[in-house]
């Protein structure tokens, strides 16, 4: 198998037994990028010389001194600071801007031996729905160049889906990690809010922004959680589907938009597969006390966006998307009173939804409305990712299903806050079933 | 009057009428620093050439194009990124580290015409109680070189108190802005949480960290709030003490430590002065439902510190203070469950304390236990600043009182969330009384 096809964990096994060097692996990934980049346009910055230099440095480390992420190649969303590469936010204000500083996440990954590979495209400041076109054509889906990869973590979703890199970093404030995960047929995890430092990644909302993780296997997600020292209270035991009870949430509350046929079919098939493997699946809707969640999320975004985009607005408002100017100018006249109410009411909902989640092995819900739509201009609807973002709950997009046009569709698997490692143990088993029997394969 | 003695608003009046240039003003401030720096040691980085160059650039701007903060000199706590100066966090890991990037606050200040003057000392990562000694002797109080200036915003507190710069930036996670404000006899404001972008300032706790502002007048604080576009829902009218009703909070709940004689006297005198000027002052304690606040604050710090300091710990734990290692290693075995409970319960308290505050013109409470203690090693107790930090409420330290040794003591004046401009209107009048009749003067 060509090295670029390996997951990070598989590549690490080969580094360990000496059958592959990090440099050979990096070359294979770079070859894949070279072959595919003109189609997917997933990279905002990629310097092959730098990648190979870092790879050789990693190879030179004696085996006993190698970190737990030795040689793990990571594509970094271009809203996360990297001291050896530019960070450009897909904004004309920051073209070629290259501050010499690593974000907290990058610092931790590097110290664990990861190979920071390059910067992946993003929508402007990870805060618009316009498909990224970083100094060139727009980023395309890994599986159909005419379809959006989703956003705002467009490049990481596309690059990981297209085997150009095994691990991608994204961010999520609404659905910016989970949506590209579903659209590109990969695992995507938004961990519990504030469980990994978000320092050095572009701010949109303090109370919502979360680092997102992409991979093509649950093992790879676990590698990352371990490096970030994200541990649950309870030790995690292997999960068994048989006898477990899942909640199936087709519509969180009536406020949400209608699902498309692809996701409706995926939810049905997912439930059927779990039942077939011995689980109980209970279809639920959220109690009425959660109905304001949708509205409150938009109010929090408005209040927080007003603060987050003021600095750039102050010096360069002529070079920012209208939706960002609207935030700063408070176009919709949100009051502080409404903003505080949304903030406080969402806070009051969190322990309640944790309690609900604790009654099930996991909650399973839609990741997206349907498969990735045609067109690279708009990155699609992220509504169904919103509940778990505002509730701070860990969520994993598990791939395995397909839409009417054969494009991938994933389902969201959700647990209570700080049950991230537990959630991975669930996804490890659920993922095996969905990937094997869901009907879509890479 | 020597220019260095001017408040920022006073200096701006002179720039406007042509009687002072920014360069002349900067030279006067630099002379003051040169005369006093060996005593106070408030600066982590100060490059006179750079200051004068920037001052001349500001003078060259035609009057009609000058920003609202034209020529306002700002000392920046050395945990806030500045693209033309190093940011060193008083950490051996970051000696001479100089990433080319401005924090959000600095970007906004510069775009409004401020003169970013230099970097002021901080305790390590703004997160220990060890008085800062940035490559030299420890920072001293503006009014007694044997006493602590407080922390963690030690340098900004000392430099503004000592007339070396009219405006300082601090940060607050417990009491890092208000405590140095009281100890150095200046105005210190912690605005509503998340009302000014904290992007690009060192992270300790996402839900607590707040940019802090220092000045020697309320007018100067207003200049800053306006630049950061911090507006209330209601238009602010001039405040009148006569007929207003204040709450006097000598002890938030019984969990708090005992006050010293200086603060006890200041609270009594403050109440007497307000009554003398026609206000009603009602002594209150917080209802029992707030009693866990103190404990919850420590739990949030532990959980958030564990995340915030992991990156540096991963590569340089041998060069970090033990208290930071304890956070990362979760020395006190805080569970996720307790961490979430603290986070959620504090959230539930916030609207309740807003409601209580709305019944009064403002709440008045202690800023510190007493005047600044002797010794530069420890920055003192910050307990009394904690309630307003965890409750996200705006608070201003108003100076005017003195302790048994003649050192300054201030009182905290507090309002509900997002009533920052209103709070300044209160402090403007209360400050006049406290400064004129409180018994301490600069």
Shortest distance, CA B303 to any CA of chain A (angstroms): 9
Position A442 scores a pLDDT of 84
Tens of pLDDT, residues A281-329? 999 999 999 999 999 999 999 999 999 999 999 999 999 999 999 999 9
Report the residue of chain B nearest A232, measured CA to CA.
B336
Residues of B with Cβ-Cβ distance to A299 under 8 angstroms:
none
pLDDT tens-place string over residues A16-54: 999 999 999 999 999 999 999 999 999 999 999 999 999
Q: What is the Cα–Cα distance from B98 to B223, expressed in whole angstroms?
A: 29
Query: What is the nearest CA distance from B229 to chain A, expressed in angstroms?
Result: 8
Chains A & B: contacts with CB separation below 8 Å: 131
Residue B77 has pLDDT above 90, yes or no: yes
Which pLDDT belongs to residue B251? Answer: 86
Question: Would the pLDDT of A72 be above 90?
Answer: yes
Q: Give me the pLDDT at residue B136, please.
A: 86
Tell me which chain B residue has its CA closest to the CA of residue A419: B336
Q: Are B213 and B224 in contact (CB under 8 A)?
A: yes
At residue B311 the predicted structure's pLDDT band, cuts being 50, 70 and 90, is very high
Looking at residue A35, what is its pLDDT? 98
**Which of B385, B371, B384, B383 is CA-nearest to residue B190?**
B385
Distance of residue A336 Cα from the nearest chain B Cα, in angstroms: 6
**Residues from chain B contacting residue A202 (CB–CB below 8 Å):** 199
| Alpha-carbon gap, residue A162 to A153, rounded angstroms | 14
The pair of three-digit structure tokens given for residue B148, joined into one six-digit string: 């602590």
**CB spacing of B203 vs A196 below 8 angstroms:** no
Least confident range of A247-256, A360-369, B223-232, B418-427: A247-256
Q: Rounded to the nearest 5°, which phi and psi values hold at A398? A: -105, 120
| Mean pLDDT of the residues in chain B | 97
Q: Is the pLDDT of residue B176 over 90?
A: yes
- A430 near B CB under 8 A: no
User: What residue in B sits closest to A313 (Cα-Cα)?
Assistant: B108
pLDDT in tens, B356-377: 999 999 999 999 999 999 999 9
| pLDDT at residue A354 tops 90 | yes
Residue pLDDT, tens place only, A327-353: 999 999 999 999 999 999 999 999 999
pLDDT computed for residue A433 by the predictor: 98
ipTM confidence: 0.97
Local confidence band at B403 (pLDDT 50, 70, 90 cut-offs): very high
Q: How far is A197 from chain B (nearest CA, A)?
A: 6
Cα of B58 to nearest chain A Cα, Å: 16
- Residues A139 and A158: beta-carbon distance below 8 Å: yes
Model pLDDT for residues B274-286, shown as the tens digit of each residue: 999 999 999 999 9
Residue A243: per-residue pLDDT? 98
Q: How do residues B283-305 score in pLDDT, each as one tens digit?
A: 999 999 999 999 999 999 999 99
Distance from CA of A83 to the nearest CA of B (A): 8
This model's pTM is above 0.95: yes
Contact B99 A101 (CB under 8 A): yes
A355 in contact with chain B, both atoms CB, cutoff 8 A? no
Strand partners, B364: B248, B413
* Residue A210: partners with Cβ closer than 8 Å, 6 or more residues away: A171, A172, A173, A177, A190, A191, A193, A194, A196, A198, A389
Between chains, do B101 and A99 touch, taking CB under 8 Å as contact? yes
Q: Looking at the predicted structure, is the pLDDT value of residue B120 above 90?
A: yes
Dist CA A144 CA B272 (whole Å)? 75
Q: What is the predicted pLDDT for the residue at B397?
A: 98
Give residue-wise pLDDT tens across range B197-211: 999 999 999 999 999
pLDDT of residue B25: 98
Q: For residues A276 and A177, what is the distance between their CA atoms, to the nearest angstrom? A: 30
Q: What is the pLDDT of residue A225?
A: 98
Contact: B110, A417; criterion CB under 8 Å: no
Residue A60's pLDDT is 98
Where residue B84 falls among pLDDT bands split at 50, 70, 90? Answer: very high
pLDDT band at B26 (very low <50, low <70, confident <90, very high): very high
**With 90 as the cut, is the pLDDT of residue A253 above it?**
no
Are B152 and B176 within 8 A, CB to CB?
yes
Contact flag B340-A348 (C-beta cutoff 8 Å):
no
Which residues in chain A (167-206) have CB-CB distances under 8 A to chain B? 194-199, 202-203, 206
Q: What percent of chain A has pLDDT over 70?
A: 100
Residue of B nearest to A328 (CA): B229
Of A98, A197, A351, the CB nearest to B308: A197
Is pLDDT at B134 greater than 90 in this prediction? no
Residues of B in contact with A198 (CB under 8 A): 203, 206
Sheet containing A395-402: give its strands across: A43-45, A115-120, A73-77, A167-172, A210-215, A187-190, A395-402, A408-414, A362-366, A245-248, A280-283
- Residues A149-164, mean pLDDT to the nearest whole number: 98
B97 sits in the region (left: phi over 0; alpha: psi -120 to 50; else beta) called: beta
pLDDT at residue B253 tops 90: no
pLDDT at B1: 87
Q: How far is A347 from chain B (nearest CA, A)?
A: 6
Per-chain mean pLDDT for chain A: 97
Of A98, A195, A351, the CB nearest to B307: A195
- 388-417 in B: which are within 8 Å (CB) of A? 417
- Please give the average per-residue pLDDT across A108-115, as a whole number: 98
Average of per-residue pLDDT across B133-145: 93
pLDDT at A56 over 90: yes
CB distance A197–B228 less than 8 Å?
Answer: no
Candidates B430, B385, B394; CA nearest to B414 is B394
Whether the predicted pLDDT of B260 surpasses 90:
yes
Establish if B355 touches chain A: CB-CB under 8 angstroms: no
Task: Give residue A136's pLDDT band: very low, low, confident or very high (50, 70, 90).
Answer: confident
Q: Which of B85, B314, B320 to mutate to test the interface with A (most CBs of A within 10 A)?
A: B314
Given a cut of 90, is residue B254 above it in pLDDT? no
Q: Is the pLDDT of residue A255 over 90?
A: no
How much of chain A exceeds pLDDT 90, in percent? 97
Of B203, B307, B315, the CB nearest to A111: B315
């Amino acid at each position: 198998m060509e090295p670029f096809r390996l997951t990070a964990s598989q590549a690490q096994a080969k580094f360990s037994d000496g059958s592959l060097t990090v440099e050979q692996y990096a070359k294979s990934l770079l070859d894949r990028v070279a072959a595919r980049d003109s189609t997917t346009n997933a990279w905002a910055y990629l310097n092959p010389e730098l990648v190979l230099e870092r790879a050789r440095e990693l190879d030179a480390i004696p085996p006993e001194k190698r970190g737990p992420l030795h040689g793990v190649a990571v594509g970094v969303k271009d809203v996360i600071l990297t001291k050896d590469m530019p960070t450009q936010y897909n904004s004309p204000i920051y073209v070629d801007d290259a501050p010499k500083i690593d974000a907290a996440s990058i610092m931790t990954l590097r110290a664990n031996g990861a190979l920071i590979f390059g910067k992946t495209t993003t929508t402007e400041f990870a805060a618009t729905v316009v498909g990224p076109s970083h100094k060139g054509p727009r980023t395309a889906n890994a599986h159909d160049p005419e379809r959006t990869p989703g956003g705002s973590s467009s490049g990481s979703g596309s690059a990981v889906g297209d085997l150009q890199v095994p691990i991608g970093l994204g961010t999520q404030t609404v659905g910016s990690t989970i949506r590209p995960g579903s659209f590109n047929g990969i695992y995507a995890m938004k961990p519990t809010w504030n469980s990994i430092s978000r320092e050095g990644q572009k701010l949109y909302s303090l109370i919502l922004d979360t680092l997102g993780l992409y991979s093509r296997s649950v093992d790879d997600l676990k590698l990352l959680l371990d490096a970030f020292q994200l541990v649950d209270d309870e030790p995690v035991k292997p999960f068994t589907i048989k006898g477990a009870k899942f909640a199936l949430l087709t519509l969180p509350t009536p406020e949400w938009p209608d699902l498309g046929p692809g996701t409706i079919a995926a939810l049905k098939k997912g439930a059927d597969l779990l039942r077939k493997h011995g689980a109980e699946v209970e279809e639920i809707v959220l109690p009425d006390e959660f109905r304001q969640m949708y509205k409150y999320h938009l109010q929090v975004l408005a209040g927080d966006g007003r603060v987050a985009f003021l600095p750039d607005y102050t010096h360069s408002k002529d070079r920012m998307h209208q939706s960002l100017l609207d935030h700063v100018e408070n176009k919709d006249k949100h009051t502080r009173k409404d903003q505080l109410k949304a903030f406080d009411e969402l806070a009051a909902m969190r322990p309640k939804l944790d309690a609900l989640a604790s009654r099930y092995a996991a909650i399973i819900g839609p990741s997206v409305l349907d498969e990735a739509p045609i067109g690279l201009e708009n990155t699609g609807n992220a509504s169904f990712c919103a509940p778990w973002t505002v509730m701070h709950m860990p969520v994993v997009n598990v791939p395995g299903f397909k839409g009417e046009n054969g494009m991938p569709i994933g389902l969201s698997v959700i647990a209570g806050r700080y049950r991230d490692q537990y959630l991975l143990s669930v996804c490890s088993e659920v993922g095996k079933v969905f990937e094997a029997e869901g009907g879509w394969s890479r």
